Chains A and B, each alone.
Chain A
Amino acid sequence: MGTVSVPSNSPTEPDGKPVGRRVVLGLFGVGALGVVFGSKVQNALLRVLAPIESRDPTGLVSLLPLGDTFRYYSVTGSVPQRNAATYRLTVSGLVKRSTTYTLADLHAMPQTQLVRDFQCVTGWRVPQVHWSGVQLSHLLDAAGPLPEATALRLISFDGTDTESLTLEQARRSDVIVALRMLGAPVTHDHGGPVRLYVAPMYGYKSLKWLSGIELTKTVIPGFWEHNGYAVNGWVGRSNGRDDAPIT
């Protein structure tokens, strides 16, 4: 099939101005400026839109890419739903007393409130999130770690994700088995009904859909650590980032 070539300056279609090229180069310029100054623009936009978003009954503002908002990550296929009747948390491994808790058991324990940022290793940070739940140290005390136990392996009921903490990290007062966040029970998409919240570390350490805590002899790196993230994921002191620490 033959095609026809046409000179660019045929009499019926005069050359005109190279507007297309100007548009393309203009956009490249906007993009380059965006890389350098984009975070300033983002902060300015957030100041304007955050009060609107919190009162927006339609939820449309939350569809805009504003940055500092939760993004929902899941590393496997569809995650089963667990509710008050079907949820179980097992503490096992190198402990004196293996225990399985229901959601009601966890609710009956002393609850710790935290208002802390949630910082993702990819850059987004949600300021001043309300968290509440049971301190992990409380569950550890109840189980009684054996002397040779030095670390925890945390297991998600999504069937794929795992995490790790040293026993010392797990005993911090700002590490909780969260039952509530953002003023309501932890939703399924946020990793509910029960997830971990490791306040001083990047978000990937705060395992979603927590279903198992296993005490181990050594640290067994979890899913994200096998994919390049630091085992000790301190905010501002790991993964080559310099975010402000969460205190």
Chain B
Amino acid sequence: MPPSPEEPSNLPRFSRPVRWIHGITALLMIVCIMTAAILYNGSLAVLVGHRLIIERIHVWCGFALPVPLVLGLASRSYRADLRRLNRFTPRDWEWLRSKTRRDGRIRVGKFNAGQKLNGALSTGAIGVLLLTGIVMYLTNVTPLSWRSGATFFHDWFSLALGLLVLGHIGFALRDPVSLRSLRTGRVPLRWARREHAAWVEEMLAEPAGEDS
């Protein structure tokens, strides 16, 4: 990397719209997971009770969940992040296969392949849960076997997405810089060099510009 006399001490990583979209989605997701646990687990269901209220909270938070993800498309910085998450390079596959992927030998862009995979799997699962949820909610529209099928897949996708989200939170909790960047949007240059070397190179080469 070419040494620069005016290297910034930190870099902007998440724009304000991206942070808001992430925050609202996270909140709705946590409410969905907690209410799902109460609706699904017998001991919790009997302990908490109030089935109708819990069900309504779950259903409406579920319907609301994709809203920030879709409305966010109005933001250029969010669309740019989505574009990066979407694209898998040969380096990403190498990173996923590598046992020493954290040693920095494979130069990672703004998002590593695990983050890209998490983004895609979460988005897909949210879509499936919305679809199956709608089939379950509109009880008189579809045939009975569709409702049974939707319930069955809703259960399995919930379980899978719940574990994925727990893993996602687990990785975040291990990295205080990541956690702080959700609030401030910025990360220290040193951290970025270690975790996302290719991105740092790109950022220092590009002239900074305003974004919405």
Residues of A participating in the B interface, judged by any CB pair closer than 8 Å? 1-6, 8, 10, 12-21, 23-28, 30-32, 34-42, 64-65, 67, 70-79, 122-124, 158, 188-189, 227, 240-243
Contacts and interface: CB of A to CB of B under 8 A. Distances in A.
Given A13-B84, A15-B87, A243 B116 contact: no
A145 B202 CA distance: 86
Q: Which of B145, B148, B201, B203 has the most CB of A within 10 A?
A: B148
A27 B161 CA distance: 12
B43 to A, nearest CB: 7
Interface stretch (B22-30, B150-158, B169-177): B150-158
B77 A39 contact: no
A19 B87 contact: yes
B89 interface: yes
Contact of B198 (A13, A18, A21, A40): A13
Given A27-B121, A71-B42, A240-B139, 10 more contacts: A2-B209, A4-B12, A13-B89, A20-B120, A23-B121, A42-B148, A76-B50, A78-B46, A79-B49, A158-B49
B21 interface: no
29 contacts: A3-B77, A3-B185, A3-B210, A4-B203, A5-B80, A6-B202, A10-B202, A16-B89, A16-B90, A17-B87, A18-B86, A18-B88, A19-B87, A20-B116, A20-B119, A24-B123, A35-B150, A42-B149, A64-B159, A65-B40, A65-B152, A67-B155, A72-B46, A73-B51, A75-B50, A76-B50, A77-B49, A79-B49, A189-B46
A15 B49 CA distance: 51
Interface in B68-98: 76-77, 80, 83-90, 92
Contact of B87 (A6, A16, A243): A16
Interface of B: 11-12, 15-16, 40, 42-43, 45-52, 76-77, 80, 83-90, 92, 109-110, 116-117, 119-121, 123-125, 127-128, 131-132, 135, 139-140, 142, 144-153, 155-159, 185-186, 198-199, 201-203, 205-206, 208-211
Given A16-B89, A23-B121, A75-B52, A34 B132 contact: yes
Contact of A8 (B43, B84, B203): B84
Contact of B50 (A3, A14, A77, A241): A77
Q: For the complex, would chain A's binding face be called helix, strand, loop or mixed by DSSP majority?
A: loop
Nearest to B122: A24
A8 to B, nearest CB: 5
The 6 closest A-B pairs by CB, nearest first: A38-B149, A27-B124, A31-B128, A65-B155, A34-B153, A72-B42
B153 A28 contact: no
Nearest to A22: B120
Contact of A27 (B84, B86, B127): B127
Contacts of B11: 4
A35 B123 CA distance: 18
A5 B145 CA distance: 48
Q: Which of B42, B116, B158 has the most CB of A within 10 A?
A: B42
A50 B150 CA distance: 21
B211 A30 contact: no
Contact of A74 (B49, B88, B92): B49
B161 to A, nearest CB: 10
Contacts of A30: 128, 153
A39 B149 contact: yes
Given A1-B12, A72-B46, A12 B150 contact: no
A1 B92 CA distance: 31
A158 to B, nearest CB: 8
B51 A19 contact: no
B87 A20 contact: yes
Given A34-B132, A39-B145, A72-B42, A28 B124 contact: yes
B84 A76 contact: no
Contacts of B76: 5
B46 A188 contact: yes
